[in-house]
Structures are given as structure tokens and as C-alpha cells.
Amino acid sequence: MNFSLAKKATCLLFVMLLTIPLLFACGERTDNGDSTKQTTSPSSETKDPNAPDLPDLTFDGAVVRFITRGSGDSTYSELWNTVDIYADTINADVINNAVYWRNEYIQDKYDIVIQHNPVANVANVAKNAIQSDSDEFDVIVMPLRYTPSFISDQQLIDLYEVDHLDLSKPYWDQNLTKETSIANKIYYATGDISISDNDATWILMFNKDMIEDFNLESPYDLVHENKWVNDKMYEMMQAVNADLNQDNNMTIDDRFGLATTPDTQFALYYSSGERIIKKDNDDLPYLTVNTERIHTVFENASKIVSDPNLTAITARMGVYPAVIQSIFEKGNALFYGEVMQCVARIRNMEIPFGIIPWPKLSEDQDRYYNYLNYAASVNCIPVTNKDLETTGFLLEAMAAKSVDTLTVAYYDKTLTQRDIRDEESKEMLDIILDSLVYDLGYIYNWGSLSSMISSIMVSGENTFASKYATVERVVKKMMDADIKKILEN
């Protein structure tokens, strides 16, 4: 989901629409297999260049079937279930209602039916169905982390080749398509059609009372003054750190500089502006990690995450993320690094907190960078799809219509009016969402290189150069194999 001033300007209109019943001429719809299209005369009105370039078609009740993330997943909790594709009816939830009205509008206007099948372990279910050439669904909504195996097995359609899909439109995430395409092919997309990408954005929260109690500098001011850097974060963490019960053993009852999960290693790596993979003029990936600046990145990041007395990390403490969350909620951590979804999870926290981007490596860095965790859902079309035209048309229509429905509900109603507590955090949210980065090296994890980067940072020993030398050949071999399959597909 991407945000802009133009999109947020639609908030007032949308709130009115949520409270006033809409009238739809809902006809009876059936699945007739191949859809029949009827073209009407084009409109003579001047079109908004950001509006979808869709022809005036109807689809005779054609059904487009989504398979999505449901309960019972072995990797992710129900908090990551898909809620942005389908809604049965209206209720008290603004996200649900935005999805409902968006879909009703599209189904009525184009005489098309949206079907939704949430399943546990959606990637496994989808892969098994594709391997058996089973025509069970038209769109897969699954975590970004699972897409590489589908692409390698040539099980997904290049979205650039799908009629009616225009991924250059602002309601599609331009950074995702630009930074993670390979050989000018892209097999997944997200944007305003989804809230999962925003939920999976890695952010930094801070305890406002602790900032005041310890007479620390305002994180908001540091961001604005371009002084919010790794060294400053480390300095502030050290100022509050304490073994409260003086038992020489840091537990959840003591005070930490940072409470987080192992994904924060990636947040610190990418906030420096570095990547594992970049691309050449032919849109082909190449490794870009063995540089002198990378070693500075490791040194700075390791200071923040490697000390168990300073930073509480789930894996190192042997606890679940909910326990780490509780450390922050009860006021025992200055900073809390997690996905944006956690803002909603701690909305009942009594202690005031704020939101800021992850720090720069140094003040001379061009801008702030924030990474998207690959728990985020993306939309893919399987090679078993029998009606690409209808599917492409529907996805484009849903993404475009989501701008003044789902985006408004999520950003203006849910985040900024319910969960975020001050104007400064709203401003920080804009900075964060405008600075998202993607890296093929993280998504594909060729040769487990990204995993190695994470483990080295938390170890506190800068052994990257020697360890990289042992895996470089394997990484390149695996990367080249995937590139070759994509070029052949």
C-alpha cells in the first residue's frame, strides 16, 4: 500500500460512504467458465492520469478465485490472515467495511464475482495444486518469502504479460516492482490493494516517559535535524540500561535499551542504505556486499544487537515475540523494534510511545531507509490460470478502487486516528512509508547469505569477510541458476 496527499484527501468522502448505505443493482451471478465481455463506447471525459486505463467491459458473472492466508498456518499467527481481499458483510470494523464496499462496487460495475478461499499454509496448498495442474484458483495471496520457490519452479505468470495490469500506476508499489524484478519480469505485486505490506513494515517505537525521565534528546528532533544515527541510538540505549533487581542476570523484569526480534538485524543493515543485491542495466542481479562500508555497517549494528545486557531479543532469550512486546508495554525498554502491525497490538499500552524510522548509519547518508519484512503478502497469478484477461482486469480494478477505500480506512482511520497517539508520529509514518526498500538477496536468501549476515551481527564478531569468502561461489551459483530459469521462462 502506498500513500500520498492526494489519496489522504479522499478520507472525508470515504468516511461519509462508510456511514451512508450505498445502492447497488446487484444481479444474480454465476460462474460460466470463459467470461463474455461487452464493450461500450469510451467516455469522452478527461481522465486522471493516475486512474486505471481499463476499457468499459462487463464479464457476465465470471468468477475470479483467490486463495489466501487462513487460520492454522504453521509459520504465522492468525494476525497475518488475509483480511483485505474479501468481506462477507459490513460490521463494526472499518477495514472490513472498506473491503466490502470496494468489492461490491467492482462486482456491480463489471458484473464479476470475487471468491475467497482462506487456507492454512497457503504456499504449500498452492504449490501442490499447481504441480498437479489443478485449476482451483486464479490468484494466490501469499507471503513474499515463499515466492522464490514458485518462480524457480516456473509456476507463476510474469505480471508484465497480463492484459489490463499496469504496474506503473501509483496504486501499485513501484519500489517492489523496480527493485525485485529480474530480467524485466515480475511475478508478484502489492500496493493499495493490500494492507499486509504496511503491517509488515519494520518500525522503531520509543518510550516517551523514559526519554523525559532520563533527560534524553527527542527522537523526533533528531530525525528532523538529520542526527538520528546508529551511534546516537546506541548512546541512548546505554543511558537507560539497568539490572533492576541486581541479580547479575538480565531478564524480562530488567530494563533494556531495545526489545526486539532477530529481524532487527535486517532493519539495521538496510537502514544504512546498503543492499545484498543490486541490478545492472539489463535488470540482472549481482552481489554488492563485499565493500569497505559494509564492515562499518556490521560494526555499528553489532553494537546495538549483540550485547544481551543491552538488547532483549526473542531468540537469544528463548521467548516468544509476545514476551518481548510485554517488556516494552510495561516500560522496561526504551526502544521496541517490530512490524507496524504491533502498533495496533499495543494500542492499550498506558505508557505513551512514539514512532520513528530506523537510524541512518551516519549523518552524511542521503535519507532514511526502512525495510519490509517478507511476511508481507503479495498477489501472484499461477500458470494454471485459465482466464488471464479477467484476472488482470479485476486485480487492476481492485488496486485502483482501493485508493479511496482500503487505503483511507487503514491509514486515516485505523492508524492515524486510532492507534497513533501524536502528530509527530504521523509525520514519522510518512517518512517510513516513503522510504521502504526491497532486496532480492533478502527475499531469495541465495546460499543463506542474508541469514549469515543476521547471525554475524548478533554474534558481535565482525567475521563477515572470511565467512563471505566461503559462501560467495555458492551464492553466485544459486543466483545464476534462478536467473537462467527466469530468462528461459
- Using 50, 70 and 90 to split pLDDT, how confident is the model at 13? very low
| Short-list 437, 434, 382, CA closest to 137 | 382
pLDDT at 33: 43
pLDDT at 337 over 70: yes
- Return the pLDDT at 23: 36
Q: What is the distance between the alpha carbons of residues 53 and 51, in angstroms, rounded to a whole number?
A: 6
Residue 189 has pLDDT above 90, yes or no: yes
- List, in order of start, the domains of the chain with CATH numbers: 5-199+376-419 (3.40.190.10), 202-371+445-488 (3.40.190.10)
C-alpha cell at 180: 525485485
Residue 15, pLDDT > 80, answer: no
Best-predicted range by mean pLDDT among 16-30, 42-56, 211-225, 415-429?
A: 211-225
Q: Which pLDDT belongs to residue 40? A: 43
Q: What is the average per-residue pLDDT within 193-217? A: 97
Q: What is the mean pLDDT of the chain?
A: 90
pLDDT at 39 over 80: no
Q: Which three cell numbers stand for residue 229?
A: 544515527
The least confident of 230-234, 291-295, 448-452, 466-470 is 291-295
Flag whether pLDDT at 263 surpasses 80. Answer: yes
Distances (CA, A) of 325 to 173, 247, 313, 452, 467: 29, 23, 10, 26, 33
> Cα 468–471–475 angle (5° rounding)?
110
Enter the DSSP assignment of 226. Answer: T
Over residues 266-282, the mean pLDDT reads 96
Share of the chain above pLDDT 90, in %: 81
Interval 75-87: pLDDT, tens: 898 999 999 999 9
pLDDT number for residue 45:
58
pTM for the structure as a whole:
0.89
pLDDT confidence of residue 145:
96
User: Is it the case that residue 167 has pLDDT exceeding 90?
Assistant: yes
